[in-house]
Structure formats: C-alpha cells, structure tokens
Structure 1
C-alpha cells in the first residue's frame, strides 16, 4: 500500500520543483528563496535534509539530477538568467570534513538573456549533455567533453523556437532507429496561436537540430512536458500539462535514411483529461511508462493508466496531504516509482 509522508521542507518561499535521483533514494528541492535542498531517504523511510545552500540570485525554477554514472551532479536554472552545475564532494581534507559531503559550483552557464525556465540532462547514452530553455525562446544544448572536469562545458547547439519556452523533455529512447529528440513547451500568453509544443530532431547529415513536428492543437500555455520511457516501442508517447492533461502518440513515418529532412510523424491524441478543473503544473511517468501522474491547482495528484485496449483511465487520486479522495478509485498500491511524489508539487507559478 502506498503511504504518503509529509516533509517539513523549511523553504522560506514557494517550492517550484522536486526532483528524484536515478534510484529514488535522494531528492532535491528548489524554491523562490534562491536555495536548493538535498534530501536522503533513511532506513526508516524518513527523508532527512543533508545539504542546503543558496544557489542563485533569483527564484530557482527547476533542479535536476544527472545519471549516477557521472557522479552526484545537479543542475539548476533560475530567473537570474543562468543555469548552474553542482557536484557533490565527499570531504577528505581533514578529520572534521572526512566522510561529510558538500556541494560545490562547477560552472555557471550565462548565455541566456532572460529567465532560464527549465534544465534537463540528456539521456545517459548520449554522454554528459545538458539542455536549457529560456523565456527568450532559445533552447541551448551543452556538452561536458571531459566528464572528470565539470567546470568545462561547451555550447553545442542553439535552437530558436520563436516562442517563450517554459519546459523541455528529452526523448529517452536509446534505439538507433530514433534520432535524438527534444520536446519544447511554451507558456506564451497568446492564446490564439496554436502550436505551443514543438518537437526537434537531430540530423546526422547536417549535424543540427531541426523542427520535426508542431502540435498545433495545443493552444494554451504549457507548464510541463514529459516523454514516456521507451521500452522498445517504434513510436513515442508524450504527456503535456496545460489547462488539462493530454497524452499524444507520435508515430514516425518512413523516410529515406540519407535524407537531411527531419522525420515526419503521425500525431494521435491518446487521451485528454480535464479532471483537475484547473491548471495542471506537472506530469511525470513511472519507469515502465505504464502510469502517468499529474498535479494541478485543485490540490490533487491524479494517476492515469491505460488498459489493454489503450484506453486511459484515472486509477487513483491523492490529496495534497497524501490521503485518497473518498469515492474515487484507490488503486494506489503497487509500484508508483517516484512519479506520484514528484507530481505532488502544486502551484509552481510565477515564471
């Protein structure tokens, strides 16, 4: 049975993001109080704050973990127009520090002219790469050529989306049949303009990212976006948090392998739910992509699951305090991964 736990986060302002590490044993939170806190799960299941430090000179919108293959590495982004890479170092210099860890700033990425609204590490198979998106409509991709020296990052690509960017998601597929792909969401206030979600694909011939698809049916501000883990599927599944929850299926159409044109997709709407009756702020998948969690201004986390007919249904609702909503499906047992808890973040406003 899923048991909710309450954490006294002790942030002095609104918490904007919660992020789990690969194993789900560590958690990072960030806030408008300009700080990041790192939490470790103890043997008794309680979360303990093991580090807290001031990071930026503005609200910290997002924090994210690199794959543990690259060490204990975090990245954060802020209203102060920067993204920062942090690395945990275990003290060895003296008896007082020995065995104790602290986080140090490895680099500050200062290319953006406006608020940096999201930051994500690329899938592990691509190496140590980091993507940011900004209110100026530019997606930037950086690479650390030497994973042992995280103070050196080179700007590899700049993608101009023409719209204010609010969120990004890498396609996690490691299949050689799928080129590297990034989904970009926009919270542009122009509600008459469709296409608030754009898909960019890397082309081996041109060595650049090009727009492959625009989801023209998404005309409302997009707050979060998430590709589902791809476990050998030939198509891609994308969840979007806007004024409702939407799940899209992107089926690649055949193309000439030598062509420099980006892949075209057949776009299908798998599901659309307005059950939150409010803005939806986060969507998150479990590791097998069988369960989607969403959170909204209604103060609830809702869990969505597809049956064998690929019809998506709500399988559980959690209130902000972790209790289930009476009279609603209560299928909360089983493996939720970190999806439910990650999505238990409400009201991430103010960008």
Structure 2
C-alpha cells in the first residue's frame, strides 16, 4: 500500500503536467500549463529553488540528466521548443535551446549515461529528434527520425544500455545498444535502433485502438527479457515482452475507466505505476506466476499540488 507522506503546494497557476525527482533524490522539478518549470529542494523543507521562465506555452514534460553530466534539466513545450537548463549555485540558466520542430514537443528523455549526454524529443509534427552533446566542439549534433508517427509522436523512452542476459548469445558479453520506443497518434508503438549513424525502425506494435499517450521501457536490472509498458486513450495498458527486442508478445494489464496518460517503472522494472484521467494512481506488480496484480491505488486531485 502506498501511503501519503506529504503534500507540496507548488504555487503553479495552472495544471501540472509532469513532476520528476533527480537521480540523487535532492531536487524535484515540476512543469505546468502556466508556461513555467519549478525546481524544489526536497531535502530541506521543499523550498523553491528556482522558477524557470523560457517557454511561451504549456510545458508538457521534464527530464533530469545523469549526475555525471551535472544538474541538467530538459523541458519541452507546446511552443515547439526544447530547453536544457543547467544548475550552478542553486540557480538554473538556459544551457541549450532546440527549436527545430514544426509543432508541439510532447516528450523528452535523456539516454542512459553509458551513451553520453543524449536527449530524445518526440513532437506533434510526427518526428523524433536525437540531440547529442559533442564535448570536443562544445556543440550539439542533431539527428531526426522523420515521419516517425503519422499525425504526431506523444512519447519516447530509451532502452537500458545493457541488454538482458537472454537477449545475448551464450558466449557473448553484455553490449551497449542504442534503442528507443515511441508511441503516437497513429495508435502504434514503435521500436527504433541506431544503425551506422542513423536511426531505423525495428518493428511496429499494433494492439492499441486509439492514440498511445505514453511508453516506458523497463530497466533490465534482474530481468531476463525486455519489457515495455504502453498506455492509450483506448483506456488500456499493454505490457510488451521480448527476448530479442524484435519479436514482442503483448498482455493487457488492465482496461481502466478513463484515458490512461502515464506509465512509469520502478528501478528494478517489476513494479509499474499508472495514472489517468480518473485522477487515480494505481501500482501494479507481477506475481511469480506472471500475473499482474494491483497492489495499491490512490486518488490525487487538484492542479497545483503534488502528493508525495
């Protein structure tokens, strides 16, 4: 059972779309339709550290980089822009701005640290941008997956850097492979991989009957296969599993009473949280027999508060 420990009054003036804690559990970032990103010190009374103003539209999602690259925070917005913010002495300044999408940017996620400083961005223009920091030139290299999803891309999520053991040959060592999963307005979940300096589609997964709103590739720690969760306006959450990241099996986790907006894995990839339009957050865990069971649910209401 998940227990409510504390409620944080964020001070946002409109709906909150995302809330993310950094890798070390020291900072909480939130973003909102009030066009702002806010950062809090959650170790010292949840004090507001900074109120970031740089977007000119609702901010849909935020993502922290691995701490080996410093305290970097990415945000994406309806204003077609991605901003990477950098912290110095408790304050955040604009580190890099990317404005090469033709429509709203809906999702951002940093790659596993083993690959370097890389950010994936999914947009309503249907494309996915891969931004890679080049240390030697202090610049960003940009590659685009054009027409990744018809009508638009709603979500992106990186595969773990090291593949599960069962995905490797018997005599091979764990290898680093850059792979992504995306979800879009074409009702599809797609798997992508980097192949000779370009991104190619590995497969498309067709089960959802409405827009895919979120995708999450599970961490591989302790797992012997790949696992992806996807959620949709069709009110379903699908669990996808694969031994080779090419052929996938699907299981309907649950059909909910309203649109499902978000899915998120725990660190070990065996517990999944789900949130949707009914204001209910449910937590699911897979039993030893392979069945998914709801182990907790909670109701969170209000546009300016976060329950922790």
TM-score by length of 1: 0.78
Report how far residue 35 of structure 1 moved. 0.6
1:283 alignment partner, SS class: strand
Report how far residue 50 of structure 1 moved. 1.4
Change (3 A) 1:148 1:310: farther
Query: In the alignment, is the contact (CA less than 8 A) between 1:6 and 1:321 conserved in 2?
Result: no
Report how far residue 117 of structure 1 moved. 0.9
Task: Give the unaligned 5+ runs of structure 2.
Answer: 164-173
CA shift digits 1:324-349 (9 cap, x unpaired): xxxxxxxxxxxxxxxxx99x79xxxx
In the alignment, what sits opposite 1:140?
129
Name the structure, 1 or 2, with higher relative contact order (CA <8 Å, separation 6+).
2
Pick the aligned partner of 2:263 from 272, 280, 283. 283
Higher gyration radius (CA):
1
1:69 alignment partner, SS class: helix
Richer in strand (by share): 2
In the alignment, what sits opposite 2:32?
31
In the alignment, what sits opposite 2:188?
196
Report how far residue 17 of structure 1 moved. 0.9
In the alignment, what sits opposite 1:67?
66
Report how far residue 172 of structure 1 moved. 1.6
Report how far residue 24 of structure 1 moved. 2.5
Task: Give the unaligned 5+ runs of structure 1.
Answer: 91-100, 189-194, 253-262, 323-340, 346-351
In the alignment, what sits opposite 2:281?
301
Give, in whole Å, the separation in 1 of the partners of 2:99 and 2:278. Answer: 36
Residue 313 in structure 1 maps to residue 301 in structure 2: no
Give, in whole Å, the separation in 1 of the partners of 2:69 and 2:133. Answer: 11
Give, in whole Å, the separation in 2 of the partners of 1:11 and 1:122. Answer: 29
Which shows bigger deviation, 139-148 or 109-118? 139-148
In the alignment, what sits opposite 2:197?
207
Give, in whole Å, the separation in 1 of the partners of 2:4 and 2:12. Answer: 23
1:266 alignment partner, SS class: coil
Residue 154 in structure 1 maps to residue 141 in structure 2: yes
Residue 172 in structure 1 maps to residue 131 in structure 2: no
RMSD of aligned alpha carbons: 2.3
Residue 272 in structure 1 maps to residue 253 in structure 2: yes
